[in-house]
A and B are shown apart, each in its own frame.
Chain A
Amino acid sequence: MHVVVIGAGEVGTSIAGSLSSDHEVVVVDVDEDRAEQLKYEIDVLTIAGDGTTSDIQTAAEVGRADMVIACTDNDQTNLVACGTAKTLGDGFTIARVKSTDFLRTWEGSEGAFGVDFMVCTDLLTAENIVRVIGLPAAIDVDPFASGMVQMAEFEIAEESPMAGQTVAEADRFESLTFVGLFRNGELTIPRGDTGIKAGDRAVVIGSPESVQAFATDVDPRTTPDDADDIVIVGGSEIGYQTARLLGERELQPRIIEQDPDRARWLAEQLPKAVVMEHDATDTEFLSREHVDEADIVVTALRSDEKNLLVSVLAKRLGVDRVIAVVDSPDYVTVFEEIGIDIAINPRTVTAEEITRFTYESVAENIAVLENDQAEVLELELTEGCGLVGRPISELVADTDARFVIGAITRDHQLVTPRGDTVLRPGDHVILLVDSDSVGEIASMA
């Protein structure tokens, strides 16, 4: 594959580094020194210049590129770069943005800005944090259909209330499908009367809210509920998005933000959250507001130093779990060595998401389960493909392939699959497939 990466910052470098071994990678950066330096770091061709211009993109042979990844620190630059790339060829364009407004616009109109796939750094980071907070019991969680659908795998513990139930009893959520059960490493396609035993691993696909509710059923002890006290320190975009996503899952966090205008804005946007305007490094304030008794503290301030200070303070005051947003990838290990439970770096998260995306070919999105016993795929159905036009129950009866359809998104709406649901072209289907049947499903799609 010929891949052009525009922007040689941390994200661009990381992506280029992981792609360079298997692909032909060209990196464009506006800074001549940076471009020169990169040549010695990884084995890629570098071009110094403005990546939004036709001249530079032509030099990088964007016209024959399979993929163009615009990942500078500037949203507008990335969007313009993708737009320019679309005038030169039809490579798949990926843009990194910070603003959720651009993401909303793009989601509302596919192909807007000439972008084929958009990664919103702050939102992605917030989704990661929420997954860490919300689903501590999950072994594996993956988002599908731009976050509308989640796949999660849980191990059923001895004391779980779900041990001993049947699948029909456990799967009591409207927008959730119980797609697979691993027992002693063997995949079972569950039926309603299949019994669940301790030690089993359950795989579910559904809306993030329903997965959250399912997690509470699996492990009410560690899964947070509305009685748990979550404090977000710093109302940055990441802090705001985290609070918003937690709110959607019925978890109402408290937010501490020092800037009065920003605090007011947060309070207006999040009617149910408690917003406090104060310096979070004031220990007297923290103990007065009982932050020391919080179950989870997330630090999302704008500087790593402050995040470090607040994280250490929170840990010392006795907070159970502290999750820190760390802007510089170099500090991630430092944070974790000091005793912060989880350090999340937005750039790493972004680079991983883009890299993960570049690996996927037939399916839009893949998750591999239990040493490749099964895969969860996201397929976009096309006109005339073998899955379209028939009820799901017929599809299942007519093939030997072992698969379960977990969720469908149609025009950005979640559709819960039932036996009589008929798939249509344009649908995004998220399904669990036995690894031996992947070839058969791929040939039908």
Chain B
Amino acid sequence: MTTGIRVGWRASLGLTGDVLAALPVPLAFPLLTAFYYGESPLPFVAAIAVSLALGASFRSVQDPAEDLGPREAFLAVALIWFLVAAVGAIPFVVAGVGTVAHPVNAMFEAMSGLTTTGATVLVDFSLHSRSVMMWRQVIQWLGGLGILILATAVLSEIGVGGAQLMETESQTQDVNKLTPKISRTAQLIWGIYVGLTGLAIAVYFLLGLAFDPQMDLYNAVAHAFTSVATAGFSPEPQSVGAFHPVIQWAVVPFMVIGSTSFVLIYFAINGEPMRLLKNEEFHFYLGAMGTLASIVAFALFLDPSVTFGAEGTVRHAVFNVASIVTTTGYASTDYVAWAPAAKHMLFMGMFIGGMVGSTTCSIKSLRWLVALKTFRRNLYTAIHPEAVRPVRVSGKPVDEGAIRDIYAYLLLSIVIFFLLTVVIVVDAERAGLRVTEFEALGAAATTFLNIGPAFGEAGPYGTFASFPMSTRAVMIVLMWIGRIEIIPVLVLFTKAFWTS
């Protein structure tokens, strides 16, 4: 206690070390891909070596006497998300091809991957080996898994991924009690995640056989990894737009399921589908998506320059709205060319997000639902100041403290989003680049809220390499902060966290 530090940082480092030491397992996947295609295994060998070395050294400082409390968990989560991204950047640097050879770009790509954002700095997709492209997909799948663990089971007490919301929302409040043991709960959730990924591989591959030879096993695996994770990377420069319409339709349900509460999916699989079907957040989430898709389709029908045909218009509206609202970030077409009405709808959709307890990013439906219901309640209490009206979600009252937290979170998100927008505009001007306000707003939302593509140069078929290097560095930090829901990172910068 002579140092005055009150955080069991050795425990945090120990946990981070455990994760880094396990990282060679997912790294083995692109390594095997490299062997299969006869490409250089060096990028992955290097990353495996670094993760093993870092993991071992972190574990060596671990003090078994220290407990992992909420404070240590905050530190560990922040460290894990940052360091795994750092190790994940190594293959890009070692491969040394294209824009991602630069360390900052490599870090951007890896952070965008791990946070399931899906914004890319790649310019020419054809330069890269198939194994490096597969690593982008694997790291996103890993990021989805990581956030599921935080949001549903293992570390729900630190409240990342909306887990604290699930406790206030009673339909899923027994999230920690799916089974009495946390490790068993985690296994169930992983089981669903892995099972859905397997199903997606099978569906994509079979549809590929039937409709589109370009959807081969490589692409089926690559897209399965990033659709259930609502992540959005694609080895194809045209994203999902490169494939047959039937395959595009088939991707939609996997994105939607990836953004649905895995706890409620678990209950649905186990014979209690009503818990999902009667859940108000689920209604809100599907309703928001449906409404936006209808408006976008309507806007596209009105736009004379759009020539998709009836099916194509509906498909592109549904696909791209689902992609944005679930925070996946695929595209079925380059919507940068769309009329402003449709584009602004997509921009709005960025702020919604899927359900808590899923792989989704952004603000999340439950927060909006509670905020809107609270607002309606406040209108009532404006007339009847003495009335006591609990806000209810799915019939269960929401704690007033949780409502305050949600308001604070919404405000904090909006403030950070605006600050990032200003940074993007100012930094671009400093570098002598032209970035419109709408493009800056889109780029800020898409990185901070972990969606993926934005508008303009950074559109779905474009690249974030068009921004200045310094902007990209800021974006790396904000993807990191946004993914683990702001608080775990911000608390690290308070004195009270370390000393009291």
Contact = CB atoms under 8 A, between A and B. Distances in A.
Interface stretch (B138-146, B219-227, B387-395, B404-412): B387-395
A275 B395 contact: no
B377 to A, nearest CB: 11
Interface string B378-405: 0000001011111010010100000000
B170 to A, nearest CB: 11
A263 B395 contact: no
A274 B390 contact: no
B392 A275 contact: no
Contacts of A266: 388
B interface bracket (residues with beta carbon within 8 Å of A): under 10
A285 B388 CA distance: 15
A275 B397 contact: no
Interface string B323-364: 000000000000000000000000000000000000000000
A82 B223 CA distance: 70
B386 A268 contact: no
B109 to A, nearest CB: 49
B388 A289 contact: no
Contact of B390 (A256, A268, A276, A289): A268
B369 to A, nearest CB: 17
Interface in A262-307: 263-264, 266-268, 271, 274-278, 285, 289
A285 B386 contact: yes
Contact of A278 (B386, B390, B395, B397): B386
A267 B386 contact: no
A292 to B, nearest CB: 16
Contacts of B392: 271
Interface in B269-316: none
A276 B395 contact: no
A274 B387 contact: yes
A443 to B, nearest CB: 52
Contacts of B387: 274-277
A263 B384 CA distance: 14
Contact of B384 (A264, A267, A289): A289
A278 B387 CA distance: 9
B388 A277 contact: yes
A267 to B, nearest CB: 4
A289 B386 contact: yes
A271 B391 CA distance: 10
Contacts of A260: 388
Interface in A32-81: none
A277 B390 CA distance: 12
Nearest to A276: B386
Contacts of A274: 384, 387
Contacts of B386: 256, 276-278, 285, 289
A267 B395 contact: no
A12 B386 CA distance: 41
Contacts of A267: 388-390, 397
A266 B390 CA distance: 10
Nearest to A279: B386
Contacts of A275: 387-389
Interface in A120-159: none
B347 to A, nearest CB: 37
Contact of B395 (A271, A285, A289): A271
A433 B386 CA distance: 52
Nearest to A268: B397
Nearest to B387: A276
A156 B395 CA distance: 42
A276 B397 contact: no
A316 to B, nearest CB: 21
Contacts of B390: 264, 267-268
- Which 6 pairs of residues, A with B, have the shortest CB-CB distance? A278-B386, A276-B386, A275-B388, A267-B388, A263-B388, A268-B397
Interface of A: 256-257, 260, 263-264, 266-268, 271, 274-278, 285, 289
Given A267-B389, A275-B389, 6 more contacts: A267-B397, A268-B390, A271-B392, A274-B384, A275-B388, A289-B386
